Amino acid sequence: YSVVECKRAAVPMVVLENNNEWCGTKISTTTPFRKDIPGIKALPPPQQGKKNLKEEITAKSNEPLTDDGLLKRAYSAAQGLSLRPASSSMPAATVSAVVSTRIGEGMKTNNVYASASRSTMAGESSQDDLSILSLSPRSSAVTKPKAPKSVEHVLHSHVLNANEVSWEDLTADSSQGQTLRESLLAGTCIVFFNAGYQGKRFIYEKAHELGVKAVIIDSPCSWAASLASEGVISHFIGLDMSQDADAIFEASIEALRNFEITTGIAIDGICTVIELAVPMVARLTEALGLPGPGLHVVEAARDKYKTREALENHGLPRTTHVLISSEEEIEAAAAVVGYPAVMKPVSGAASLGVKKVNSHEELLSVYRETQQLLSELVVSSGALERRNEHSDTVGLDSPLRLEPLVVQDAVAASGRIPTVVMLEEYLDGQEVDVDVVLSPGLGCTFAAVTDNAPTKEPYFSETWGVLPSALPRDRCDELVDLAVSSVKALGFDSGVFHVEAKYTSRGPRLIEVNARMGGGPVHLCHKVTSGVELSVEVMLLAVGLPSRPYQRNLSVIGFGNI
C-alpha cells in the first residue's frame, strides 16, 4: 500500500493507494499545522530492499492491511480533518476520504467515500455526521490506461465525486467537454501570484465569471488591490515585494496558511501569467503540494543556455552559442560563434538586452550596454522595463538613466537578473510564436503558430502578426513539433507555453521557451480566431484538471504596432 500525495482540492481529501508495497497517508487540510490526527501516520517512502515493512506498518497503524482497515483509516481521516478551528464565521466543512486501488500501470479505481461535516456557525451545536456513501465499486469511476499522476488530484475533486464524471467525458474534445471542464472550476480557489499590468484584468474577470475564488498576491500598491472591493476577486494579499526571493517565499507561505485558516478556504492551485514570477510560483506549488512544474524545470526554461543544453541532449536542432561572464571572454566567444551574432541575457523578459551585432567593436559596445541595462532594470506590474530619460514610459531605444538599482515586484520574486549573457549565431528566416498547451496523460492538446515577421532589427521588435500563420502547413507542423519537443525536453508535461522560434534556411530553430501564457494580444488573438481562452486553460491546469481546448475555427486575425 502506498500514499497518493494529496493535492489540495476545494475539499481536503485523504487517499490511500494499494500497490502491495507500503502503507501510509499524507494529509492536506485547511489546518496545515495539525499533525496529530488520531490513527493517521505519515510514513516515509519505501526503502529499496526493505523487508517486513507490512508488519512494521501494521504495528504502527494498529490496523490490518485489508480493505476494512483502509476504510477505517479513511473514516478516521475524515473525522480528524473535520476538526477545524472554531470560528463564528467558519462555514460548514465537508471532508471526503477516498480509498483507491491501482492495478499495474493503469488507473482502475474502486472508491470508498466517507464524508464528515461539522457546523461551526454561531449558536449551533457541533455534531459530527459520518456516513458511508458507497461501499462498492462505482461504475462511473475515472478509468483510463496509463492515467497521469495529476489525475490522482482530479480524483480528489468533490465535484467529480458528486457528479460521477468519467475520464472520457472530462477529456472530450467537444463543446460539451469544454463546458464540463470549465464548470468544475466553480468553487475552486486559485491564487494568482503577481497581477501584472491592468491589461491583465480580463483574466480575473474570467475567473469570476467561472465561479473561481481568485486570490491575488502582489505589492500593496498594485492596481489589483481594488479588485477585491469590486467583487472581481475573493481576496487580495499585499506583500512587500522589495524583499529578496527567500523572504518573499516565506512571507507568501505564511500569508497563504493564514488565509486558509481564517477563511476556511483550501487553496486548490497557484499560477501566474507573469514571466518573472514563474520561478516563485514553482517554489510555492512544490512547498504546498499543489499541481505545477518543479522549480528545476522552470529554471531551465528561464535560462537560455540551459534550454540549449536540454535541446542538444534530446537530439533537437541546435544553434552555436557561448556564455560570456566577463569582458575578457568576448573575443574567444566571437571566434566560436562568428558574425553576425545575437547578444542576449541568459535570463530576462520582453527581449530586453537582446541585440544583433555585426563586428567585434559592436559586440564590445553592446556587451557594456547590456551590463548597464541588467544593473538598472525597473519593474512595473511584474514586467521588466527600463525607464525613459525624461519620463516613466518604456522604450528599447530610450537612453538609460543612471540611477541606483531598483528591484521590486516580480524581479525579487525570481531573484536578481543574472549579468551573464549568451552570444548566439544569428538566425535568418521568419520569426513565429507557437502557443502550446500540454496536459498530463494527453500530451499536446493545443498548438497554434503566429507569424511575427518582419521583426525590426537590431532589437528584433515585433511589428505585426497574423494568426493562423500564413506559412505552408508542413512548415507549421515542423515548428509545432520543435516547440512541443523543446518544452518536453526541458521536463514539462503540463502547462501553457509561449514558444518563440524561426523557420530558417536550415529548418526550424528555437529562440526561447516561456513557461507561461503569452502576453500582449496573444490571448485575444486566440479567442477571436479559434474561441480558445488560454487563461481558462491556465486555471484548469493549476488545479490539476485536464486541458483540451475546444477550437471553433472562427477567423483569421492580424495585428500590428503603429
Beta strands 383-385 and 421-425, pairing class:
unpaired
- CB atoms under 10 Å from CB of 153, counted, come to 26
Please give the pLDDT value at position 383.
54
**Among the three residues 392, 425, 458, which one is the final residue of a domain in this structure?**
425
Closest residue by Cα to residue 280 from 296, 295, 258: 295
CATH code at position 332: 3.30.1490.20
Please give the pLDDT value at position 232.
98
Please give the pLDDT value at position 374.
78
Question: Looking at the domain assignment, is residue 296 inside a domain?
Answer: no
How far CA 486 is from CA of 146, 214, 279, 308, 555, in Å, comes to 23, 31, 19, 9, 28
**Among the three residues 102, 134, 166, which one is the final residue of a domain in this structure?**
166
E-strand ranges in 284-334 read 321-324
Q: How many domains does the chain have?
A: 4
Residues 432, 414 share a domain = no
Please give the pLDDT value at position 4.
35
Closest residue by Cα to residue 334 from 424, 457, 421: 424
Residues 400, 514 share a domain = no
Residues 160, 211 share a domain = no
CATH code at position 523: 3.30.470.20
Question: Looking at the domain assignment, is residue 433 inside a domain?
Answer: yes
CB contact at 8 A, 438 and 487: yes
Residue position matching grid coordinates 543544453 = 309
Please give the pLDDT value at position 552.
87
Question: Looking at the domain assignment, is residue 253 inside a domain?
Answer: yes
Residues 208, 156 share a domain = no
Question: Looking at the domain assignment, is residue 418 inside a domain?
Answer: yes
Question: Looking at the domain assignment, is residue 249 inside a domain?
Answer: yes
Please give the pLDDT value at position 459.
82
CATH code at position 278: 3.40.50.20
Question: Looking at the domain assignment, is residue 172 inside a domain?
Answer: no
- CB atoms under 10 Å from CB of 56, counted, come to 14
Whole-angstrom distance, CA of residue 389 vs CA of residue 535: 35
CB contact at 8 A, 144 and 127: no
Bridge partner residues of 269 (DSSP): 190
Residues 132, 259 share a domain = no
Please give the pLDDT value at position 320.
97
**Among the three residues 398, 425, 452, which one is the final residue of a domain in this structure?**
425
Closest residue by Cα to residue 155 from 41, 42, 144, 175: 144
Rounded to 5 degrees, φ, ψ at 292 are: 150, 160
Please give the pLDDT value at position 419.
81
Please give the pLDDT value at position 243.
86
Closest residue by Cα to residue 10 from 27, 25, 26, 30: 30
Residues 349, 332 share a domain = yes
Whole-angstrom distance, CA of residue 192 vs CA of residue 407: 20
> Does residue 468 have a cis bond before it (omega within 30 degrees)?
yes
Residues 435, 421 share a domain = no
Please give the pLDDT value at position 561.
66
Dihedral sign for Cα 9, 15, 17, 22, please.
positive
Question: Looking at the domain assignment, is residue 184 inside a domain?
Answer: no
Instruction: pLDDT tens for the chain, 562 residues: list them.
Output: 233 333 433 333 333 333 333 333 333 333 232 333 333 333 344 444 443 433 443 444 444 444 444 444 444 444 443 323 323 332 322 223 332 222 222 222 222 222 222 222 233 333 332 222 222 222 333 333 334 444 444 444 444 444 567 889 999 999 999 999 999 999 999 999 999 999 999 999 999 999 999 999 999 999 999 999 999 999 999 999 988 899 999 999 999 999 999 999 999 999 999 998 999 999 999 999 999 999 999 999 999 999 999 999 999 999 999 999 999 999 999 999 999 999 999 886 556 778 999 999 999 999 998 888 777 765 544 555 555 444 333 333 333 332 333 333 344 444 456 688 999 999 999 999 999 999 999 999 999 999 996 888 888 887 788 999 999 999 999 999 999 999 999 999 999 999 999 999 999 999 999 999 999 899 999 999 999 999 999 999 999 999 999 998 778 888 776 5
CA dihedral 116, 121, 125, 127 (to 10 degrees): 0
Residues 449, 421 share a domain = no
Residues 144, 6 share a domain = yes
Please give the pLDDT value at position 188.
96
Q: Which domain holds residue 275?
A: 189-290
